[in-house]
Amino acid sequence: ESYDMGGHDTYMHKEISEQADAVDRVLRGRIDDRFSTVHLGGLNLDAREARGVRRIKILGCGTSYHAGQIGAQLIEELARIPADAEPASEFRYRNPVVDPDTLYVAVSQSGETYDVLAAVQELKRKGARVLGVVNVVGSAIAREADGGTYVHAGPEVCVVSTKCFTNTVVAFALLALHLGRIRDLSVADGKRIIDGLRRLPAQITEILENEDEIKKLAAEYADAKSMMFIGRVRGYPVAREASLKLKEVSYIHAEAYPASELKHGPLALIEPAMPTVAIVPDDDLLEKNRAAMEEIKARSGRILAVAHQVQEKADHTIVVPKNENELDPILMGIPLQLFAYHTALAMGRDIDKPRNLAKSVTVE
């Protein structure tokens, strides 16, 4: 992959289109079928040390923070280690308790974001072990961390992150699988996840082939002044990232909420002029998500669902291919990258360089 636009009108479109190859690259050479695990050479964390980790704290900003939220869920699901993600900027200013049994993970596309770098430096000063999940090889955060893994997304030029988000989440799936197989994840489950990871590139291609339909849907919803994005558990960080993508690139106001929290406030906003995008994976929360859509319909809200099957409660559904439950979040956000892109295109926005934003924020 290069800086050449290769026939695309924007880097955003080019980078969205490159995702199947990018995911293929982050997987390449790392899968160990014999032990149903993966090798991550640069972690600098041996099996005994990995077993001693009691908590994982993930730090990042913007889209990388959202990738870290999905990463934390993957680590909890596959490795059963308590994990959460926090904006690095907030973490650093609350005089955090730095615990020797906690593994810290700094996540950054550029590897240069000041708030993340400063958090890493503060953690290291206090004696913590910090790993980096970084795209740019040799960047400041990669150099400062004790070890880590590169996400191999290739160069990302558009200010808003797309392919690097996807690759970062896949890198977290690899980390979670690696830690899981050192701890209590069975061989069978390890194999199940590996098979799922191998299906991702073809499934991404399938999603991207649906671009014409997504473009039509973007035209349908582009008149909205504001949009609500909802999801639950695995779907919630997907909703957050999709909402961020839409607002960054189209300037349409968007907010993301856990579907379960609608009744505690945001339902008051629902009306025909406030459409909702619902992330509805075919998992144990399917019925709960359907009930949330029913609540929205009862208030005359329009719904666009991203789901594994057509949702009757929704006005429109973008159907995405099903993977293993744990890996579904990797795929469900991809059509919404195209949705944000086509909405912004229809509105004549400066897609690769949205106003007021920078690709890399190297100052506080």
- DSSP code string of 284-300: TTHHHHHHHHHHHHHTT
139 binds ligand G6P (CB under 6 A): no
| Cβ partners under 8 Å of residue 204, min gap 6 | 19, 20, 23, 166, 331, 334
Q: Give yes or no: 359 in active site.
A: yes
User: Which residues from 319-358 bind ligand G6P, rule CB under 6 A?
Assistant: 357-358
Q: Contact with ligand G6P (CB under 6 A): which of 109, 166, 167, 311? A: 109
Rounded distance between C-alpha atoms, residue 79 and residue 77, angstroms: 6
* Nearer of residues 89 and 323 to ligand G6P, judged by Cβ: 89
Rounded distance between C-alpha atoms, residue 31 and residue 296, angstroms: 43
Instruction: Tell the smallest beta-carbon distance from residue 140 to ligand G6P (Å).
Output: 10
* Nearer of residues 141 and 270 to ligand G6P, judged by Cβ: 141
Instruction: Tell the smallest beta-carbon distance from residue 291 to ligand G6P (Å).
Output: 33
| Cβ partners under 8 Å of residue 248, min gap 6 | 159, 160, 340, 354, 357
* Nearer of residues 156 and 326 to ligand G6P, judged by Cβ: 156
160 binds ligand G6P (CB under 6 A): yes
| Cβ partners under 8 Å of residue 96, min gap 6 | none
243 binds ligand G6P (CB under 6 A): no
Instruction: Tell the smallest beta-carbon distance from residue 344 to ligand G6P (Å).
Output: 14
Q: Among the candidate windows 27-35, 102-110, 297-305, 330-338, which touches ligand G6P by CB under 6 A?
A: 102-110
User: Which residues from 36-75 bind ligand G6P, rule CB under 6 A?
Assistant: 61-64
Contact 237, 73 (CB under 8 A): yes
Select which of 191, 297, 353, 359 is catalytic. Answer: 359
* Nearer of residues 108 and 276 to ligand G6P, judged by Cβ: 108
Phi, psi of 107 (to 5 degrees): -120, 130
Strand order through the sheet with 226-231? 253-258, 226-231, 276-280, 303-307, 316-319
Q: Contact with ligand G6P (CB under 6 A): which of 205, 210, 260, 360? A: 360
Which tokens hold the place of 97?
Answer: 């308790």
Positions annotated as catalytic residues are: 359
**Residues engaged in binding ligand G6P (CB under 6 A):** 61-64, 108-110, 113, 116, 159-161, 357-361
